Structure 1
Amino acid sequence: MKLVRLDDLFDVRYGSNLELNALKLSPSGINFVSRTAKNNGVSARVAPVAGLEPIPSGVLTVAGGGSVLETFLQPEPFYSGRDLYYLTPLHPMSDEVKLFYAHCIRSNKYRYSYGRQANKTLKGILLPSLSDLPEFVSKARVGKFTKSSKAVLSSPIPPLRTNKWMQFRLGELFDVRKGLRLTKANMLPGQIPYVGASDADNGITAYIGQSAIHQGGTISVSYNGSVGEAFFQPEPHWATDDVNVLYPLGFELTPEIAMFICALIRQEKYRFSYGRKWHQERMRESVIKLPVTKQGQPDFCWMEQFIKTLPYSANIS
């Protein structure tokens, strides 16, 4: 792969260099992008500043300090805080290509720290040339999310006190079953989800014409490949042999409960690697902590309600 300097691809400029505490907040105002790693870098919305044009949309923002090299594509005009740079493409680029470069820039974070910021060396970061991008970049399609951001529940629930949670073996909660290998050459065209050891698209890597081998209302967990990636599978599906499928034992696995448990399962992925697979027997003995009732049983009702209080939860079901 041919590598080029960042400034061969982008015009690198310092941002607005504004202080948020000197601006007037306005919920319907202009995005204020700072050095944060959250919310696409947007930390507030502010009223327009007289005589100062916002930075145009369609550029990448890069934190030179703070959360160093956190990089985001900005879909709206914005103001920015200190130590923030914006990158304007020197060549035509789709949003998909810009997002790919944002990921490449962010992948250099390990080179920096609080004491070693990226202000002087940003332009020299090496990136893949436009003529040598991976094939998947041209095939990717970035759509606009138009669904509701509302939560299902607006009323509060008891607070999240993890110090009172208890440990449960996955084998106590689920019947852990293996997937089955199916090569691409043997796949038939169809509508049945084929779940692979992937960390994208809910683990679904293809749709096939074979009959499903696993039920819906289960959780798929990769024990090879993208180890520890867990997804709720609402429909009958075929899971590859690199995936274990978790069938609930004695409780109804709603989408909300599944999402809560999937998040906890993913937290265990650091324990495994290419040389230490999360195979079926190991997974049965693995332990996760869950909120519990007064009787010491998993509090599935609380888990479901907690997920329903989160933004965008209205789209889950």
Structure 2
Amino acid sequence: MNLDVKKWTFFQVKDVLNIQNGKGITTEEIEENAGNFAVVQSGEENNGVLGKIDLDYCKSKGYTYTEKSCLTVARSGSAGFVSFQKNGCVVGDSAKILLLPDEVAKTEIYLFLHSILTANRFKYDYGRKVTESKYMNDYIALPALVNGRKKVPDFEFMENYIKSLHYKPLTTKNRPENALPLNIEKWGEFLLSDIFKCSTTTLSIKDELLEGNTPFISRTALNNGCDGYVEVEAKFITKGNCISIGAEGIYAFYQKEDFATGNKIYTLRNEKLNQYVALFICAVLNHEVYRYSYGRARILSKLQNEYIKLPINHKGEPDFEFMENYIKSLPYGDRV
């Protein structure tokens, strides 16, 4: 199917979606009332999900939530950032829920609108917050059809267009029930600097570099921390097979290939590190990112003094072999 954008019609967002404003939820509440329901705030990391909370607790507090599929938009911080939440979510006061009418509330239509709204995000740069009035009265161009005397959004076209996109589903031979068990109660606690060499990297200024083939790792939480590809001198290249962490980006990513870096990027190295072990450790490290929210940077000195819980072997040492085998045993672990 082709997108003939020139024939699209402008609609106000309020003609397409309904909006619900969030209410304050703290990280302490998430910790104390852990559950399986996604909490969405203003960040871009992890698709906007700050953590998981107990839904009954949210209901008792009168928080803004939906159990239906929805879009969310960040009010401040990463203002205008839009996420799709297939299983619903609760939103804090820095995010809002966007809902389609029930009769057209399909995953494909939400994904189509996600792309359109994301293209409008530039309007909220430079500290301009998303307000209900401004956002809902803004105009977006959409496929349209004539219904009586007026044009209306062509939701059927949007749905069929997304369905028409060509992709090959990823398959796995691993069954969920065959994944190795995690007995977290028997894990050991280690100082990060006792098991990793924690180091800074050599800074490069991306805007001063030409496009090339070397991954440029910055503090972005997206795309495995990669902010593009550059041409850079050998002295500015950091060797791969390590974990990278950005001070404000705070998320840990495995870097298999050599790379260049922006400001305040740190690396963790261990001779037993490989892509499987790294994925396990990154998952554990990223579980702790909430501790560094709201301007508390994950700088090198804090990294070196951070504690991490890991599986242990009979010697009481980190069981890197188990970590590797665990990742390999997960669904799609055979495709890593």
TM over 0.5: yes
Which residue number corresponds to residue 303 of structure 1? 323
Q: CA deviation at 1:85?
A: 3.0
Q: Report whether the alignment pairs 1:9 with 2:16.
A: yes
- Given the alignment, which residue of 253, 262, 265 partners 1:231? 253
Distance 1:152 1:9, change over 3 A: closer
Cα deviation digits, residues 241-298 of structure 1 (max 9, x gap): 22111111xx421211101100111112111135321111110110110010121011
Which residue number corresponds to residue 246 of structure 1? 268
Q: Please tell me whether the aligned partners of residues 153 and 305 of structure 1 are also in contact (alpha carbons under 8 angstroms).
A: no
Which residue number corresponds to residue 242 of structure 2? 218
Q: Please tell me whether the aligned partners of residues 193 and 237 of structure 1 are also in contact (alpha carbons under 8 angstroms).
A: yes
- Given the alignment, which residue of 98, 104, 118 partners 1:87? 104
Which residue number corresponds to residue 146 of structure 2? none
Structure 1 window deviating more from structure 2 (239-248 vs 281-290): it is 239-248
Q: Report whether the alignment pairs 1:314 with 2:334.
A: yes
Q: Please tell me whether the aligned partners of residues 220 and 244 of structure 1 are also in contact (alpha carbons under 8 angstroms).
A: yes
| 2: CA distance, partners of 1:128 / 1:204 | 35
Cα deviation digits, residues 81-130 of structure 1 (max 9, x gap): xxx935369xxx7945336769x9xxxxxxxxxxxxxxxxxxx9964734
| 1: CA distance, partners of 2:294 / 2:260 | 23
Q: CA deviation at 1:179?
A: 2.6
Q: Report whether the alignment pairs 1:148 with 2:157.
A: no
Q: Please tell me whether the aligned partners of residues 205 and 262 of structure 2 are also in contact (alpha carbons under 8 angstroms).
A: no
Q: CA deviation at 1:206?
A: 1.1
Identity of paired residues, percent?
25
- The aligned amino acid for 1:9 is V
Q: Please tell me whether the aligned partners of residues 240 and 257 of structure 2 are also in contact (alpha carbons under 8 angstroms).
A: yes
| 2: CA distance, partners of 1:209 / 1:146 | 34
Q: CA deviation at 1:131?
A: 3.5
Detail structure 1 runs of 4+ shifted over 6 Å in the superposition.
72-75
Q: Report whether the alignment pairs 1:195 with 2:217.
A: yes
Q: Report whether the alignment pairs 1:272 with 2:289.
A: no
Distance 1:127 1:170, change over 3 A: farther
Distance 1:160 1:194, change over 3 A: same
Distance 1:146 1:156, change over 3 A: closer
Distance 1:94 1:182, change over 3 A: farther
Distance 1:66 1:240, change over 3 A: closer
Distance 1:88 1:167, change over 3 A: closer
Q: Please tell me whether the aligned partners of residues 219 and 246 of structure 1 are also in contact (alpha carbons under 8 angstroms).
A: yes
- The aligned runs of 1:18-167 (5 Å cut-off) are 68=67, 70-71=69-70, 85-87=102-104, 95-98=111-114, 127=136, 129-131=138-140, 144=167, 146-151=169-174, 157=180, 159-167=181-189
- Given the alignment, which residue of 194, 199, 204 partners 1:172? 194
Cα deviation digits, residues 219-252 of structure 1 (max 9, x gap): 111112x2x211110000012222111111xx42
Q: Please tell me whether the aligned partners of residues 167 and 290 of structure 1 are also in contact (alpha carbons under 8 angstroms).
A: yes
CA root-mean-square deviation: 3.9
Cα deviation digits, residues 145-203 of structure 1 (max 9, x gap): 5332333998564x211111111111112111113332233112210000011111111
| 2: CA distance, partners of 1:166 / 1:280 | 23
| 1: CA distance, partners of 2:332 / 2:208 | 39
| 2: CA distance, partners of 1:264 / 1:66 | 28
- Given the alignment, which residue of 259, 282, 306 partners 2:279? 259
Distance 1:99 1:313, change over 3 A: farther
Distance 1:208 1:309, change over 3 A: same
Which residue number corresponds to residue 25 of structure 1? none
Q: CA deviation at 1:209?
A: 0.6
